[in-house]
A and B are shown apart, each in its own frame.
Chain A
Amino acid sequence: NAGVTQTPKFQVLKTGQSMTLQCAQDMNHNSMYWYRQDPGMGLRLIYYSASEGTTDKGEVPNGYNVSRLNKREFSLRLESAAPSQTSVYFCASSEFISGQETQYFGPGTRLLVL
């Protein structure tokens, strides 16, 4: 199992450019998540998808859109990148056992917006 994979690993954008961050998991998990990590702030939830075909906003959704393409894949799109979106982005998926959830994270995408 590869677990949770993310592409690209690193990206530089100019202000106003768009891009899509890709995430895939091979653990047959229903729920998937996008987080951003900024210095001194831990991880903050951007969007999540509890199951295929559903998406919901998290704590910091502004400036982002998501697509749950199928059960395996969950993409994050920046339509018009801003310097404030410079961050490290993590995708996660979760398993539920006896009603208890555990999240597993990908390696991250480092995004620099100039």
Chain B
Amino acid sequence: AQSVTQPDIHITVSEGASLELRCNYSYGATPYLFWYVQSPGQGLQLLLKYFSGDTLVQGIKGFEAEFKRSQSSFNLRKPSVHWSDAAEYFCVISTGTASKLTFGTGTRLQVTL
């Protein structure tokens, strides 16, 4: 069975600083990977996804993620964080079959001014 680990429960960064949120997965083949963001009291918004091809994926709001097969990782990055990026971020794995999404437990990002 597949699994996703987000080792950081909570991260605080200053506005303008760079950000990296970690995600590690376990799956026997190449997975489909997603990052979603959940603002307080809101639903989940898709930031970016990786299915195949270029391992550096660009998303919305200036986010990017890099798929590293050798490290079983899919870390999310942003060069300069804005206060509006404060939210909870979920790394998600899919094995490609309908309904088989597995969510990480989330990383809560706090941005200080």
Say yes or no: A100 contacts B96, CB within 8 Å: yes
For B94, list chain A residues within 8 Å (CB): 101
How distant is the Cα of A104 from the Cα of B92 in the complex, in angstroms? Answer: 13
For A107, list chain B residues within 8 Å (CB): 42-43
How distant is the Cα of A48 from the Cα of B99 in the complex, in angstroms? Answer: 7
Q: Tell me which residues from 45 to 67 in chain B have a Cβ below 8 Å from any Cβ of chain A.
A: 45-46, 49, 51
For B106, list chain A residues within 8 Å (CB): 42
Say yes or no: B98 contacts A31, CB within 8 Å: yes
Q: How many residues of B contact A (CB 8 A)?
A: 21
Say yes or no: A103 contacts B101, CB within 8 Å: yes
CB of A73, distance to nearest CB on chain B (Å): 17
Q: Does A58 contact B (CB under 8 A)?
A: yes
Given A41-B105, A42-B90, A42-B105, also A101-B96 (CB < 8 A): yes
How distant is the Cα of A41 from the Cα of B46 in the complex, in angstroms? Answer: 19
Given A101-B32, A105-B36, also A45-B99 (CB < 8 A): yes
Say yes or no: B96 contacts A108, CB within 8 Å: no
Q: Does A102 contact B (CB under 8 A)?
A: yes
Q: Tell me which residues from 82 to 98 in chain B have a Cβ below 8 Å from any Cβ of chain A.
A: 90, 94, 96, 98
Q: Tell me which residues from 35 to 84 in chain A have a Cβ below 8 Å from any Cβ of chain B.
A: 40-45, 48, 50, 56, 58
For A31, list chain B residues within 8 Å (CB): 98-99
How distant is the Cα of A94 from the Cα of B101 in the complex, in angstroms? Answer: 11
* Chain A residues packing against B (C-beta within 8 Å): 4, 31, 33, 40-45, 48, 50, 56, 58, 90, 94, 96, 99-108
* Chain B residues packing against A (C-beta within 8 Å): 9, 32, 34, 36, 42-46, 49, 51, 90, 94, 96, 98-99, 101, 103-106
- Given contacts A50-B98, A100-B51, list 4 more A-B pairs with CB under 8 A: A42-B104, A42-B106, A43-B90, A106-B43
